[in-house]
Amino acid sequence: MPQVAMLSRRGSKDKNIINQSDTIGFVIDTDDFSWRVMLPYALLAFSFVYLVLGAFELQIVKGGVNFTLAKRTNQAQVKTLASRGLIYSSDGIKLATNDPSYSLSLDVNAIKAENENEVIMLLADLLSLDSEELKATFDQKVYVNGERITSSRVTLRNNLTYDQYYAVLSRIEDLSGVILNVEAIRNYHDPLVYSNIVGYLGDPSQADIDKGIYPQSQVGKTGIEAWYDQQLRGKDGLRVEEKEVVSGQSVNYEAFESVPGNNIVLTVDSRWQQYLKTILDESINKNNAFAGAGAIVKSSTGEVMALVTSPSYDNNLFAQGISATEYNKYLNDPKRPLFNRPIALQLPPGSILKVVGATAGLESGVISADTEKLSDRCMDLPGGIVFCEADRSYIGWVNVEEALARSSNLFFCQVMQDLRAKMGYSYYFDIAKSYGLGTKTGIDIPGEASGLIPDESYKLRVVKEPWYIGDECNTVIGQGYVTVTPLQMTMVASAIANGGYLLKPYIVAEARSQEGQVVLTNQKQIVNNLNLSNSTLTTLQDGLRLGVAAGTAGGLQGLEADMMVKTGSSDAGEWIEGKYYSGAHSWVMGCFDYQDEWYCFTVMQQWGGRGYKTVPIMKKFINCVYTDFKDDCKDV
């Protein structure tokens, strides 16, 4: 009997007969075959094609781009600060060196004003410092004239201990704007003796940064550190740090290396500087003087052998990051220890200025070496002015040499009367200016003052009064409105000793590279040839020698040296920090020979008494020079 294949129904009453025969029949479900068999194969084929196409695009189409991306790096450029040059005395003593240090500075721009106290409190706790003191230091450095500065470096503390450094480092993520540095700081040798010469470093100002100074470095603020900053600082290097983004590999290299700064060699002799400072300090204490200053120069060249101020200050405090309390102590000291007196102190010089009157009288011809004038205690001047000798003493008939030696006021007042009648005061004024008075000497150290030689226009402009012969007589004896600096008068004495040449003093002999090559040299520089006659020079020199032999500088007798010296006393009174100081400023100016060279000097003590009170300072010093600074050289 034939076999019949029965067809399945798919939701319809119609029959779809696939096949009818006598053979065995079967039924095929086409939907089940498509989804269960073809779908996996289709997905597999699609994935294969996608991967092939992706690989083709990555390797062939975008292969170069992707290779570059794979090699992409993060790059950082870091300044490497140059090692600062050293400072030496002329005899090889190191006066400024570099020591490794941990320092803490602030990027003010990264610290919000409202967060200042929080940052300072945390730092004070980490550093074990007084928070009020640290805040005062912060305020003093960050707020200038009431305005908050915008600086990326304000050094808050140098010379941290390792424990302090590590304590801050452990919390550095909580201290935005706080920067820890491992850098060199200056170490200053014998600071109270040399600070007025060497100076100190500080954070760069905006003006410094505008000139190209790296904000995270330090810059010279005073003294040689400031004047020769470009020589000392060298050239900073640049280190490049690269890190590949994909591999994480890092490479560091120097784009260019730093070049150490040059070393500076001063003209200053360490023993001359040390002994003059010590002797001056002792004399100030003995005479109960207010303060003092001294300068010694080699007459033939202008080299500064010693430049002393008293009192002085410790520049290592500035190197270590001076606190507000320490800084204010200096600022509020009425004796102004930060003040560089030899070059910046402007005071009436008293009778040491009489050499200028003698020069004017001799060169103008109103007197000769033999001209004599009577000194009879006092003389009357127009306007009811009485002009007198010191203590109204009687000196008698004197010539110009004797007037210099015995310091006659009346002699030089009469010279000024003769000048007024023949040449006018302007002749004296021009002679004083030719000696460099009223003008800076040009020494290679910052902070110099110019002093003042007064004239009629000055008095009218400032005092609102006319000019009288009494003003001229006051000026010629170093009183009244005239002011000078100790260094200026040292150069006056030097011109008398060297034949009438006003030289520019200099305190740096040379700069040398780290390999010892001389890269800068200072030499003798003539500022002005006074064109003084030989007879004038001889008379001036003999008058100053007579001052030692039989005059006001007689306290120098007994020394081996040939000396030319003039003393001076200038009466003055001044209110300082609410206290009135009065009396005489004590001056001594002159020259002494040593090993066939003339060395000229000016030493003074503010309110130290008459000029003879300062003479022992130079007697002790000159004796020390001549005995090669033996232990008891000051005992004269």
pLDDT grade for 48, boundaries at 50, 70 and 90? low
Structure tokens at 191: 């600071």
- More confident position, 42 or 426: 426
pLDDT over 50 at 460, yes or no: yes
pLDDT over 70 at 55, yes or no: no
Report how far Cα 516 is from the mean position of its chain's Cα atoms.
24
Mean pLDDT, range 395-410, rounded to an integer: 98
pLDDT grade for 60, boundaries at 50, 70 and 90? low
pTM, entire model: 0.85
pLDDT digits (tens, 9 = 90+) for 155-175: 998 889 999 999 999 999 889
Position 492 scores a pLDDT of: 98
Structure tokens at 605: 């003590």
Cα separation, 140 vs 162, whole angstroms: 26
For residue 489, give the amino acid letter: M
Mean pLDDT, range 307-334, rounded to an integer: 95
CATH 3.90.1310.10 domain residues, the chain: 77-266
CB atoms within 10 A of CB 125: 13
pLDDT digits (tens, 9 = 90+) for 239-262: 676 666 666 667 666 667 889 999
Mean pLDDT, the chain, integer: 89
Structure tokens at 124: 């004070």
pLDDT over 70 at 197, yes or no: yes
Position 321 scores a pLDDT of: 87
Cα separation, 422 vs 416, whole angstroms: 10
Is the separation of the CB atoms in 98 and 186 below 8 Å? yes
Q: Burial level of 405, CB count in 10 A (0-12/13-18/19+)?
A: buried
Position 7 scores a pLDDT of: 34
pLDDT digits (tens, 9 = 90+) for 506-551: 999 999 999 999 999 999 999 999 999 999 999 999 999 999 999 9
Report how far Cα 571 is from the mean position of its chain's Cα atoms.
33
pLDDT grade for 72, boundaries at 50, 70 and 90? low
pLDDT over 50 at 10, yes or no: no
pLDDT digits (tens, 9 = 90+) for 16-40: 433 444 444 444 454 555 556 666 6
Is the separation of the CB atoms in 240 and 255 below 8 Å? yes
- End-to-end CA gap in the chain: 161
For residue 477, the number of C-alpha atoms closer than 13 Å in the C-beta half-sphere is 25
pLDDT over 70 at 77, yes or no: no
Structure tokens at 295: 């300068």
Position 577 scores a pLDDT of: 86
Is the separation of the CB atoms in 546 and 521 below 8 Å? no
Q: Looking at the structure, give the CATH architecture of the domain made up of residues 350-529.
A: 3-Layer(aba) Sandwich (3.40)
Cα separation, 571 vs 568, whole angstroms: 10
Please report which helix (H) or strand (E) contains residue 65, including its range.
helix 63-70
* Cβ neighbours for 455, distance < 8 A, ≥ 6 positions apart: 425, 426, 429, 467
Cα separation, 399 vs 357, whole angstroms: 13
Cis peptide before 342 (omega within 30 of 0): no
Closest CA to 101 of 156, 166, 162, 179: 162
Closest CA to 602 of 623, 616, 588: 588
Closest CA to 294 of 507, 589, 501: 589
pLDDT over 60 at 64, yes or no: no
Q: Any idea which fold 77-266 has?
A: Penicillin-binding protein 2a (Domain 2) (3.90.1310)
For residue 262, give the amino acid letter: N
Closest CA to 184 of 93, 323, 319: 319
Is the separation of the CB atoms in 263 and 456 below 8 Å? no
Cα separation, 99 vs 264, whole angstroms: 17
pLDDT digits (tens, 9 = 90+) for 358-386: 999 999 999 999 999 999 999 999 988 99
Alpha helices in 456-531 (DSSP H): 456-458, 469-476, 486-497
Q: How many percent of the chain have pLDDT more than 70?
A: 85
DSSP state of 359: H
Mean pLDDT, range 490-508, rounded to an integer: 98
CATH 3.40.710.10 domain residues, the chain: 350-529
Cα separation, 419 vs 422, whole angstroms: 5
Residue with tokens 């320092």: 103
Report CA-CA distances (Å) from 270 to 92, 436, 491.
9, 28, 21
Position 525 scores a pLDDT of: 98
Is the separation of the CB atoms in 588 and 614 below 8 Å? yes
pLDDT over 60 at 292, yes or no: yes
Is the separation of the CB atoms in 471 and 480 below 8 Å? yes
pLDDT digits (tens, 9 = 90+) for 91-147: 999 999 999 999 999 999 999 999 999 999 999 999 999 999 999 999 999 998 889
